[in-house]
Each structure stands twice: as C-alpha cells, then as structure tokens.
Amino acid sequence: MTKIYRSKIDLWLLVIIVGAGIVFVFGALVAVVAAIATVPVLACVGILPLIAGIGLPLYFLTSIKYTLSDDRLIVKGPIFSSRIELPQIYRVYPTNNPISSPALSLDRLRIEYGNGKYVMISPDDKEGFLRDLRSRRNFRGAA
C-alpha cells in the first residue's frame, strides 16, 4: 500500500515565501499599470511575472511530498526527485540541519542509505511516517 506524506511547513518559512510572492506580485502590478499608461502592448509582458509571482510560491509550497510504497521511498521536491529502495536505508534519525533539502521545516529526519548517501525530509506526520517506514523496513536507527 502506498502512502503519501506532505512536508511540514515552518511558519517563518511560510511567511518568507508568501511575503516574497506578495512583493513580486506588487512589483508586477506596478509594471503592468505603468505599461498600460505608456505602452499598452507591454502590459501583456508584465502579466507573466504576475502569474509567476503567484504560481511559483504555490508550487514550492505544494510540490514537496514523500511517497512510501512497499519497496521504496520517493522524495519529490520542486526541482528534483529521488527514489530510495527501502532495503538500502540503514539509518534514520531526527535533525534540525538547515542545509538545503526537500523540506519546508527544520524539524527533519535524516535518512541515510546506499553508499554514504542521505536525504533530509520533514514529513508533516513524522511519527506516522516513522511507524510506516518501520513496518515496511526493519532498519537500524535512532528514531
């Protein structure tokens, strides 16, 4: 059975992403209004950043997810995704490491697998994710 976990979202990061989107949208609106007043044809060009200012933050906030199937963990981020075979996972433990990873929270799990590889994720239901992972793969770990 496949289970999908969404990323937990820290409030401070949500404020930054939404704030940046608002600033971007405001700037695009000013550009569109200025273009309409001077060269109406250019207003169409200003609409593209307006759409990006709304769409990109929404995409980043909704695209991170962790899919746990019977034999693998699929980590999907806004830019990349990775597939981890469950038998390759040898350690899972909590971390607050701020290094870039497909996670919208610093309340993370570091998953070590393969030959020295790792990924840090932040499932919204961390305990449920760990229970589910344990039931699918008996691994050694602190968590």
| Neighbouring-strand partners of residue 73 | 68, 84
pTM passes above 0.75: yes
pLDDT in tens, the chain (143 residues): 899 999 999 999 999 988 888 888 888 788 778 777 787 776 677 677 777 778 888 898 899 999 999 899 999 999 889 999 999 999 999 999 999 899 999 999 999 999 999 999 999 999 999 999 998 876 544 44
DSSP string, 18-58: HHHHHHHHHHHHHHHHHHHHH-GGGHHHHHHHHHHHHHHHH
CA distance 5 to 10: 16
Hey, what domains does the chain have and what are their CATH numbers? Answer: 1-143 (2.30.29.30)
